[in-house]
Amino acid sequence: MISVTIYNEFCHEKFDENVRKLYPDGIHNAIAKFLGENDDITVRTVTLDDEECGLTDDVINSTDVLIWWGHLRHGDVPDSVAERVKNAVLKGMGFIALHSAHHSKPFRLLMGTTCNLSWREDGDLERVWVTAPSHPIAQGIDTYFEIEEEETYSEPFAIPQPDELVFVGWYEGGEVFRSGCCYVRENGRVFYFQPGHETCPTFHNKSVQRVITNAVRWAAPVNRVSQLICPNVKKITTGIPGSHRR
């Protein structure tokens, strides 16, 4: 059973009628709904206004994969929470950054770069192409899938070169974007996925749901490391019984 926690800053949905129509219970609950239909996944949600963003030590320690959506209020996430998330990833927790979470504090800490890009809100069709057909995150997707309307994100995207590039997005207006990027950071797996603008029905798109579900299974830790250490060690003596070696 994979324990997923979904963080949403839950802000636009409260003041913008257009967003509320699409996601009446918030983006977090829209994601929770389709993930919760899988027998191997349990879901919790937390939001910015919860104490410590809902991401206390207890919650983090019992989370296998953390999904992050935020946009307007990245700066209101306390640095201590961002560091806690980063450290949990380094110990093995999976992390999935959706759309505007490219600028979230934990993602930037993990990447080490600005994660800048260019953007445009014209409701372009996005066609998301698979560049790694055998990758677990691309399973169930044919050579591409379409999103009727998305915010356009454009290269150059200021990230470290992905360990694996799974998707590249094409936008009607003329841009491309590395839309699905995998990283290993110490013991944890990180996936960035471009789709998910708040004024678009992206999280109701079946292919988007499939990709996020696949990504949860991919990012779930094989094991969790309990501490991060930098030990002073003794010279090794061979552990081979009866060996004539040192």
Applying the rule CB under 8 A, the residues between 120 and 159 that interact with a copy of itself are 120-122, 125, 127, 129-136, 139, 143-144, 146, 148, 154-158
Copy the structure tokens of residue 196. 């998910």
In degrees, rounded to 5, the angle at the alpha carbon of residue 183 between the alpha carbons of residues 90 and 107 is: 65
Q: Which residue has the tokens 């454009």?
A: 154
Query: CB 145 → a copy of itself: shortest distance, Å?
Result: 9
> Is the CB of 70 or the CB of 169 nearer to a copy of itself?
169
Query: CB 218 → a copy of itself: shortest distance, Å?
Result: 10
Query: CB 186 → a copy of itself: shortest distance, Å?
Result: 5
- Going 187 to 191 to 197 to 202, the CA torsion angle's sign is negative
Q: How far is CA 241 from the centre of its chain?
A: 46
**Footprint of a copy of itself on 71-130 (CB under 8 A):** 86, 90, 92, 103, 109-114, 116-122, 125, 127, 129-130
Give the DSSP letter string of 149-205: EEEEEES---SPPPSEEEEEEEETTS-EEEEEEEEEETTEEEEEE----TTS-GGG-
Please give the size of the binding site for a copy of itself, defined by CB under 8 A: 77
> Is the CB of 28 or the CB of 91 nearer to a copy of itself?
91
> Is the CB of 33 or the CB of 129 nearer to a copy of itself?
129
CA distances from 146 to 78, 126, 129 (A): 36, 6, 9
Strand partners for 231: none
State yes or no: residue 231 binds a copy of itself (CB under 8 A). yes
Q: Which of 214, 213, 223, 228 is nearest to 92 (CA)?
A: 223
End-to-end CA distance of the chain, in Å? 45
Query: CB 45 → a copy of itself: shortest distance, Å?
Result: 26
> Is the CB of 62 or the CB of 114 nearer to a copy of itself?
114
| Contact window for a copy of itself (CB under 8 A) among 50-58, 59-67, 196-204, 218-226 | 218-226
**Footprint of a copy of itself on 13-42 (CB under 8 A):** none
> x-or-dash pattern for a copy of itself, window 156-195, by CB under 8 A?
xxx-xx-xxx--xxxxxxxxx-x----xxxxxxx------
The span from the CA of 168 to the CA of 196, in Å, is 15
Query: CB 81 → a copy of itself: shortest distance, Å?
Result: 17
